[in-house]
């Protein structure tokens, strides 16, 4: 489902500068591709939560919600549930390779290349967060 964008998501993205919009679209595609290539995730659903594009594992319940949005003028955030252990796990794995906002987001600078390998790991962990707990 990387091709069809939810109309509400598209409308939101169109309000952003092209650099932010392009970065968010690349991140969105990476979320869908990672979900498709990660065992146990199943089909994910794009929706809007708290006014932000959100991605949930409604088919399997395997993961926690991922949200993405603009963060400041030229940054993008990859949000995850702050009451999970994801933030500390990401810091343990990637240290200062990534920038964090407390225990709730990875902050991405749209003037730098998207750190795809690192984000694939983070996305995969978020989308399978509940698998180990079942």
E strand segments, the chain: 45-49, 52-56, 66-71, 75-79, 99-101, 105-109
Q: CB of 22 within 8 A of CB of 112?
A: no
Does 38 have pLDDT greater than 90? yes
Average confidence score pLDDT of the chain: 93
* Alpha carbon distance, N-terminus to C-terminus of the chain: 27
Domain boundaries, the chain: 7-133
pLDDT at 24: 97
pLDDT band at residue 31, thresholds of 50, 70 and 90?
Answer: very high
With the C-alpha atoms ordered 107, 102, 71, 125, is the resulting torsion angle positive or negative?
Answer: positive
Domain 7-133 has CATH 3.90.1150.200: yes
Residues 130, 114: Cα–Cα separation, whole Å: 26
Q: Span 122-126, mean pLDDT? A: 96
Its pTM stands at 0.93
Residues 118, 93: Cα–Cα separation, whole Å: 9
Q: Span 16-41, mean pLDDT? A: 96
- Which alpha helices (DSSP H) does 6-82 contain, by range? 7-14, 18-36
Q: CB of 105 within 8 A of CB of 77?
A: yes
The encoded tokens of residue 91 equal 């810091």
pLDDT band at residue 3, thresholds of 50, 70 and 90?
Answer: low
**Per-residue model confidence as pLDDT tens digits over 71-88:** 999 999 999 988 888 999
Q: CB of 32 within 8 A of CB of 1?
A: yes
Cβ atoms within 10 Å of 21's Cβ, excluding its own: 18
């Amino acid at each position: 489902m990387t091709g069809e964008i939810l109309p509400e998501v598209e409308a939101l993205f169109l309000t952003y500068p092209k650099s932010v919009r392009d970065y968010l679209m690349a991140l969105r595609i990476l979320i869908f591709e990672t979900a498709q290539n990660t065992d146990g995730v199943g089909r994910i659903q794009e929706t809007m939560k708290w006014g932000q594009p959100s991605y949930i594992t409604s088919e399997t319940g395997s993961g926690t919600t991922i949200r993405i949005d603009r963060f400041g003028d030229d940054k993008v955030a990859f949000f995850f549930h702050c009451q999970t252990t994801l933030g500390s796990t990401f810091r343990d794995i990637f240290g200062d390779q990534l920038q964090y906002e407390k225990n709730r987001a990875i902050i991405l600078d749209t003037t730098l290349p998207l750190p795809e390998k690192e984000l694939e790991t983070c996305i995969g962990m978020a989308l399978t967060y509940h698998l180990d707990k079942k």
